[in-house]
Amino acid sequence: MSDESPSTLRPGQTFTHHGKKYKILKQIWFGPFSEVMIVKEINGNERYAMKIEKTNDPQ
């Protein structure tokens, strides 16, 4: 992933973290080192900000 491309996660997609499922609602920040998305827990009403930090690792 280059420093100028967004992550592979997009609004509407879901993912699991520590056994809980979340849906990405929208991206609120994109910069050279990270991006921030608003996510919602699928089985609840809580919304969170999720920061994705970019690395130089091609994986």
**Of 31, 39, 35, residue with least CA distance to 8:** 35
Per-residue model confidence as pLDDT tens digits over 13-55: 999 999 999 999 999 999 999 999 999 999 998 999 999 998 8
Which structural domain range is residue 36 located in?
A: 1-59
Give the dihedral of Cα atoms 1, 13, 35, 19; nearest 10 deg.
-100
CB 49 within 8 A of CB 35: no
The domain total for the chain is 1
58: domain CATH number? Answer: 2.30.30
pTM score: 0.74
Q: Is the pLDDT of residue 56 over 60?
A: yes
Specify the pLDDT at position 54.
Answer: 86
Specify the pLDDT at position 1.
Answer: 37
